[in-house]
Amino acid sequence: MAHAANRYALAVLLGGADLAERVGAPFTWQPGWEYTLPAGWVRPAPGPSAAGSAR
């Protein structure tokens, strides 16, 4: 589970992917995954989340 969770998090946070689309999409394993932050990369502003809305 952790490997998939890490992959989803990196795709969403670094690549701007939609989490629901990623989770539902077919997956084919590829050895040697690498993630590189582009020069000047800035973390996107947080959007609405279920965790932030529960009070």
CA distance 47 to 49: 6
Per-residue pLDDT of 22-36, as tens digits, reads 999 998 877 877 777
Give the pLDDT of residue 21. 93
Residue range 41-53: mean pLDDT, rounded: 67
Confirm if 10 and 36 have CB atoms less than 8 A apart: no
Give the pLDDT of residue 13. 84
- The model's confidence at residue 53, banded by pLDDT at 50, 70 and 90, is very low
Q: Where are the domains of the chain?
A: 1-25
